[in-house]
Amino acid sequence: MKMKLFKKAAFVFPKTIRAKLMYATASITLSISIITLTICFFVFQSFLKKNQIQSAEFNLQLVANNISSDMKGIVYFSKWTCSNAEIIRYLERSDQQWAGTSQDASEIRTLALSAFTRLKEEYYNTTPEKYITHALISANNRKHYLHILGPSENSRPNGADIVYQAPYFQQLLDSPDFLWIGLENDLFTNVEPPKVIPIIRPIYNDFNATVLGWSYISISQSIFTDYLKDYPLADDSALFITIGDNSYRLDSGANTFRKVSGTITPLGEIANVSLNQNTKVQNVELSDGSKQIIISLPLGVDGWYISQIMSQQQFHQQKLFYYFLLAGIFFMIVLLGAFLMYYLNRIIYVPVQKLRVKISAVAHGDFTRDPSIEWDHELGEIGKGVNDLSSNILQLMDRRIEDEKQKKDLEYQILQSQINPHFLYNTLNSIKWMATIQGASGIAEMTTALARLLKNVSKGTAAMITLREELDLARDYFLIQQYRYGGSISLECSLSNDELYNCRIQRFTLQPIIENALFHGIEPKGQAGQITIHAKESTDSSGHLLRISITDNGVGMSRETIAKVLQGSETASTDFFRHVGIYNVNRRIQYEFGENYGISITSEPGVYTTMTITIPYITDVPKE
């Protein structure tokens, strides 16, 4: 059971980088697709509804602007008929005549003709005059009146009485302002009467506010239908005109309006979707119980609105389009994800596979450089590092082999010196006693020093000895050379403290340096020379150190000579001690303690040369 769960977990969470990369890419692509589609769905949903509402609002606004402009002209014309001086004078004179005054009938006719002429002028100057079916100005007695008909209207006698008998006459006349009762039958037409909007306003005397008569204007419903006949309206949508307390639905087939009998119940406004702040967008419930969105715009007249119920059919059609668009976006993202997986596989997995092959080859001993893995990107830097590592391994192996060879050569040279020490001791002792018997103290002293020197060369195999022992060996060597130079050279040794005598140093470290000072420093100068050895302890970032300085007052060394000495380029000699030179001493120290230690040389040509040995401060090396 545990094994099955482990295999299932390994399948869900892959181990290889390639599988993890593909798994991560697929997961990220799918996540981005889901998030993008979710956001797009809600954004498109909101945008779609908002776009449909604003599109309908724009169309309605065009209609509303036209109707509002026309109604402003008609309302202005109605107000003009109630305030024109000639019309008021005509009504005053006609009212006086019928009241039994002495006004002449010819004067009334003259005033009537003048008022009618002025009325016609204003009528034709009114831009929407084609929508005014009747304009009638009547005195209170209804005997004298002025009547203008629209282009398609017919005249009827007793026009003032017809208007006066209208059921809404008194209601409109007594209203303090314009009162809109909606669409009514045309009073002057009997056959299939078109609908009109009546306006009745009183005409007052300028001085005593006496009602002299009234003005009647009828507005054709064409003021709506002319602008709505080409209006884009879906089958499941509807247009409404609200006039006062009455609402009318446009019958697009008959190009007319019919009064709405049912009620429209508002359910709440929809905010932040309209272009104009005067536009009202609401969720409503119709009389049949269906819930719709309705847009209402004012028509520029108090109580007048134009409204449209939004088409659900168009909304669903556009929604279907957006669904196809979202599907296209999804497949595009998936396609891009697949391309990304292929691309990442090509730029990451293929180079990684080549690097694995190269590393495997290095592990099996193939250290050749492979230029094909040095690409111009980050993995190429790793490939270059692998190639550099291979080259470094080769160089390290070659250097190690060379170091071992030099070490063997050095050991062989040391072994060459170990020629039957007992025979040499006995021979030197014999020479010593013969010199003593004969009174040659110098020969005895020199022979004794040489015996001790050879004994130190040949005895034991310990690589590390005390500084005291190394100084004794150096003094014996120097004593022999001092006899050679006739006492013209001297050696001084000083230590910063006596504890340094117990410090450990590699055997034969000082002697090659002293030899170098004698043969290459003091001897070429041709004068008496002095060699000074000084030991001290110090501390730096490497730790507790022992520093031994060997200074001679010989010819000195140039920088080139110093470099050759440290690089082992000086001329070799068949003499054993010369052959174990400065370069070999330096390399022995570095083999033993590391590259941070060894010999450093400072010199001033013609004045001095100082060779400083730096080794770790060691006092507890076990005896062998």
User: What are 363-421's pLDDT values in tens digits?
Assistant: 777 777 778 777 777 777 777 887 788 788 878 888 888 877 777 666 555 544 444 45
* pLDDT over 90 percentage in the chain: 13
Q: Which two tokens stand for residue 260?
A: 């709405």
CATH fold of 460-616, please? Heat Shock Protein 90 (3.30.565)
pLDDT at 10: 46
**Residue 623 confidence class, pLDDT cut points 50, 70, 90:** very low
| Range of weakest confidence among 310-319, 336-345, 511-520 | 310-319
Task: Sort residue 100 into left (φ over 0), alpha (ψ -120 to 50) or beta.
Answer: left
Integer Cα distance of 382 and 388 in angstroms: 10
Integer Cα distance of 472 and 484 in angstroms: 19
**Residue 330 confidence class, pLDDT cut points 50, 70, 90:** confident
DSSP 311: P
For residue 582, what are the CA distances in angstroms to 264, 286, 300, 533, 585? 114, 113, 113, 16, 5
* pLDDT tens by residue, 205-247: 877 778 889 999 998 888 888 888 878 777 777 888 888 888 8
pLDDT at 222: 86
Integer Cα distance of 503 and 511 in angstroms: 17
* DSSP states along 271-303: -S--SSTT-EEEEEE-TTS-EEEEEEEE-SSTT
Nearest-5° Cα angle at 437, 431 to 440: 70
Three-state SS at 231: coil
Integer Cα distance of 579 and 571 in angstroms: 9
Integer Cα distance of 223 and 186 in angstroms: 15
* pLDDT tens by residue, 283-316: 877 777 778 888 888 888 888 888 888 777 766 7
Mean pLDDT, all residues of the chain: 78
Which of 542, 536, 457, 549 has its CA nearest to residue 503? 536
Rg (CA), the chain: 62
pLDDT at 500: 92
Note if the pTM is more than 0.85.
Answer: no
pLDDT at 193: 64
* pLDDT tens by residue, 525-574: 888 889 999 999 998 887 899 999 999 999 999 989 888 888 876 554 43
Integer Cα distance of 293 and 307 in angstroms: 10
What would the mean pLDDT of 136-150 be, rounded to a whole number?
A: 84
pLDDT at 262: 65
Integer Cα distance of 606 and 246 in angstroms: 127
| Range of weakest confidence among 14-28, 144-158, 159-173, 295-309 | 14-28
E strand spans, 300-452: 304-309
CB-neighbour burial class of residue 402 (10 A; exposed 0-12, middle 13-18, buried 19+): exposed
Which of 604, 449, 577, 461 has its CA nearest to residue 518? 577
pLDDT at 456: 63
Rounded to the nearest 5°, which phi and psi values hold at 248?
-135, 140
pLDDT at 319: 67
What would the mean pLDDT of 494-502 be, rounded to a whole number?
A: 92
More confident residue, 410 or 576: 410
Q: Which two tokens stand for residue 181?
A: 């009762």
**Residue 336 confidence class, pLDDT cut points 50, 70, 90:** confident
From the candidate CATH numbers 2.30.30.60, 3.30.450.20, 3.10.20.30, 3.40.50.2000, the one assigned to the domain spanning 82-225:
3.30.450.20
pLDDT at 416: 47
Q: Yes or no: say if 580 and 515 are a contact pair by the CB < 8 Å rule.
A: no
pLDDT at 5: 47
Q: Yes or no: say if 121 and 129 are a contact pair by the CB < 8 Å rule.
A: no
Residue 584 has pLDDT above 60, yes or no: yes
pLDDT at 453: 66
Q: Yes or no: say if 547 and 537 are a contact pair by the CB < 8 Å rule.
A: yes
Side chain identity at residue 292, one-letter code: Q
Q: Which two tokens stand for residue 561?
A: 């000579």
Residue 57 has pLDDT above 60, yes or no: yes
Which of 183, 157, 169, 152 has its CA nearest to residue 215? 169
Integer Cα distance of 250 and 258 in angstroms: 7
Side chain identity at residue 492, one-letter code: E
pLDDT at 428: 64
pLDDT at 494: 93
* Alpha helix positions (H), 17-104: 17-81, 85-98
What would the mean pLDDT of 9-37 be, rounded to a whole number?
A: 68
Q: Yes or no: say if 559 and 497 are a contact pair by the CB < 8 Å rule.
A: no
State the helix-helix crossing angle for 421-437 and 441-458, rounded to 10 degrees.
170
For the chain, report the end-to-end CA distance as a whole number of angstroms. Answer: 64
Three-state SS at 439: coil
Three-state SS at 197: strand
Per DSSP bridges, beta strands 211-220 and 238-243 are unpaired
Which of 507, 503, 498, 429 has its CA nearest to residue 474? 507
b/e per residue 169-199 (b: at least 16 CB within 10 A): beebbeeeebbbbbbeebbbeeeeebbbbbb
Integer Cα distance of 267 and 284 in angstroms: 5
Which of 82, 72, 107 has its CA nearest to residue 93? 107
| Partners of 200 in the β-ladder | 216
| CA 608 to mean position of chain CA atoms | 67
Q: Which two tokens stand for residue 280?
A: 């009202």
Task: Sort residue 426 into left (φ over 0), alpha (ψ -120 to 50) or beta.
Answer: alpha
For residue 395, what are the CA distances in angstroms to 392, 537, 588? 5, 36, 20
